[in-house]
Amino acid sequence: MKRDRPYNVLFLCTGNSARSIIGEAIINRVGVGKFKGYSAGSMPKGEVHPLTINLLNRLNYDTSTMRSKSWEEFTAPGAPELDFVFTVCDNAANEVCPFWPGQPMTAHWGVPDPVGVQGTDVERALAFADTYRMLNNRISIFTSLPLSSLDELSLQRQLDDIGRSKVDSTREKA
């Protein structure tokens, strides 16, 4: 069955300054034409973290329109109808989310917060690069799923499995 629009995907985090922004950027590149990515936070920082911008710029992403925003934008009249909502931090996964129009499929794809990493500039940059790699792996798997041929239960199981994937983290846990 041919869709008349791309699948709308929202990545949620608390601050919407790093992980969810990175997820939005990746899906808009990897899933171009098939997916449209968005990001938001439950308590947005109001600005995208500078190391997020630096990383994405180095990887040739256009960061000119990226901004930290509240998830309330996606519950307002005229907001895009969401097909998928992925929480990428544990705080957002444990919060009571708003009602999403259209009842999108949801999954938790938690990854460590690079913003909280202490250390040298190199260690901090590596944390952001590791976050990018983990999200890129998960989003690449997601965008390759045959969505039109999966029933809702099978698709939900696949989404949850992607989020439980432990093979994508090389950084030691503190």
| φ, ψ dihedrals at 84, nearest 5° | -140, 140
Question: Is there a contact between 93 and 110 (Cβ–Cβ < 8 Å)?
Answer: yes
Question: What residues are paired with 85 via a beta bridge?
Answer: 10, 106
Spatial CA neighbour of 25 closest among 3, 55, 2: 55
Q: What is the pLDDT of residues 16-38, one digit of tens each?
A: 999 999 999 999 999 999 999 99
If you average pLDDT over residues 28-55, what whole number do you get? Answer: 95
Strand, helix or coil at 46? coil
Euclidean distance between the first and the last CA atom of the chain, given in angstroms as a whole number: 46
Under the banding of pLDDT at 50, 70 and 90, the label for residue 94 is low
Task: Give yes or no for residue 165 having a pLDDT over 80.
Answer: no
Domain chopping of the chain, boundaries = 7-164
| φ, ψ dihedrals at 124, nearest 5° | -65, -45
Q: Which range in 89-93, 117-121, 154-158, 163-167 is most confidently predicted, on average pLDDT?
A: 117-121
Q: Could you say which architecture CATH assigns to the domain 7-164?
A: 3-Layer(aba) Sandwich (3.40)
pTM listed for this prediction: 0.89
Rg of the chain (C-alpha set): 15
Task: Work out the burial of residue 69: count CB atoms within 10 Å of its CB; fewer than 13 is exposed, 13-18 middle, 19 or more buried.
Answer: middle
Strand order in the sheet with 35-41: 35-41, 7-13, 84-87, 105-108
